[in-house]
Amino acid sequence: MKILNLMLVVALAIGVSFVCAADEITDKLKAKTESLLKIKVTSVSKSPVEGLYEIISNRGLLYASADGRFVMQGTIYDMDDKNRNITEQSIAKTRVSKLLQYSDSMIVFPAKNEKYQITVFTDINCGYCRKLHSQIAQYNELGITVRYLAYPRGGERSSTWQQMQSVWCSKDQQQAMTDSKAGQEIALAQCENPVQKHYRLGIEFGVNGTPAILLGDGTMIPGYKAPDILSEILITRS
């Protein structure tokens, strides 16, 4: 019995030491990457690749060696699991939880018989964003609610940035969105608006073009998808 108790104590001690060592690595990686790369790190955890850590930050997802010497940005696929995109899966989980904080600042075109919700990072002067919006009724008819976040591709100094602020500051946001995407000028308006927060969120999520469509599980589909094709994608994934 004494030997058994001793073995249990040793096992517990080893377990605690492993946890402490893991915490020490993640803490050091967080501190080092924030200091040297000037980013805000949300979480650090082991990746499925041995010796490689996953760093989720306000600039997207990074991978780092345990000592923080090597840092890389890219996509990891599991070739033995039908080329599963491990990177996208990790980011998708973060997107779902993060989006909850922005639901009140989206411009929403709801479907009467809603089956699905998509969230779209949009730019009012983007050709394919305009094409998507011109078919908004068709998406809604298929049970797809469309929620918009602002992503003016030209950045803060662009005229589109100011225009999108005006859309979000309009009394009728839906009409302002529709008019602006039809090429009509809308009245300039100023208010406390979420455009900058939306834009930074897009960068964090890895948006590099518009429209960028987020599905309910956090998966991002880059580019325009016709209503019937998007509906098929949603049905397949449900």
pLDDT at 15 over 50: no
Distances (CA, A) of 140 to 133, 136, 137: 11, 6, 5
Exactly one of 123, 147, 169, 179 is catalytic; which is it? 123
Same-domain status, 70 and 113: no
Residues 20 and 138 in one domain: no
Residues 70 and 103 in one domain: no
Based on the fold, state whether residues 103 and 162 are members of the same structural domain.
yes
Rg (CA), the chain: 22
Q: Domain check: are 111 and 229 in the same one?
A: yes
Options 95, 130, 153, 169, the catalytic residue: 153
Nearest to 159 by CA among 134, 133, 124: 124
Q: Are residues 115 and 187 in the same domain?
A: yes
Percentage of the chain beyond pLDDT 70 is 91
Regarding whether 106 and 19 lie in a shared domain, the answer is no
Do 135 and 178 meet the contact criterion of CB atoms below 8 Å apart? no
Examine the pLDDT at 181 and tell me if it is beyond 60. yes
Identify the domain containing residue 8 by its residue range.
Answer: 2-74
- CATH number, domain of 222, equals 3.40.30.10
In a domain, 81, yes or no: no
The pLDDT of residue 52:
94
72-108 pLDDT tens trace: 988 999 999 988 888 888 888 889 988 999 999 999 9
What is the CATH classification number for the domain harbouring 67?
A: 3.10.450.70
pLDDT of residue 2: 52
Quick check: is 104 catalytic?
Answer: no
Same domain, 106 and 182: yes
* Residue partners of 95: CB distance under 8 A and separation at least 6: 205, 214, 218, 220
Q: Which of 59, 129, 130, 169 is catalytic?
A: 129
The token duo for 195 is: 């455009």
Q: Please tell me whether residues 23 and 127 are part of one structural domain.
A: no
Catalytic residue status for 95: no
The last residue of one of the domains, among 23, 40, 74, is: 74
Mean pLDDT value across residues 4-12 = 45
What pTM, to 2 d.p., does this model score? 0.79
Contact 206, 225 (CB under 8 A): no
Reported as a pLDDT band with limits 50, 70 and 90, residue 11 is very low
Q: Is 123 noted as a catalytic residue in this protein?
A: yes
Span of 14-18, 147-151, 179-183, 204-208 with lowest mean pLDDT: 14-18
| 225 and 111 share one domain | yes
To the query of whether residue 237 is one of the catalytic residues in this protein, the response is: no
Are residues 122 and 186 both part of a single domain?
yes
State the burial class of residue 138 (Cβ atoms within 10 Å of its Cβ: 0-12, 13-18, 19+): middle
Q: Which residue of the set 59, 126, 130, 169 is catalytic? A: 126
The closest alpha carbon to 196, from 48, 24, 61, 58, belongs to 58
Q: What is the per-residue pLDDT for 7?
A: 45
Residue 3: which pLDDT band, with cuts at 50, 70 and 90?
low
Assess whether pLDDT exceeds 50 at residue 20: no
Q: Is residue 89 part of a domain?
A: no
Instruction: Indicate left, alpha or beta for 183 from its phi (over 0: left) and psi (-120 to 50: alpha).
Output: left
pLDDT tens for residues 192-207?
999 999 999 999 898 9
Number of domain units in the chain: 2
Whether residue 109 sits in one domain with residue 52 = no
Strands (E), 123-210: 144-150
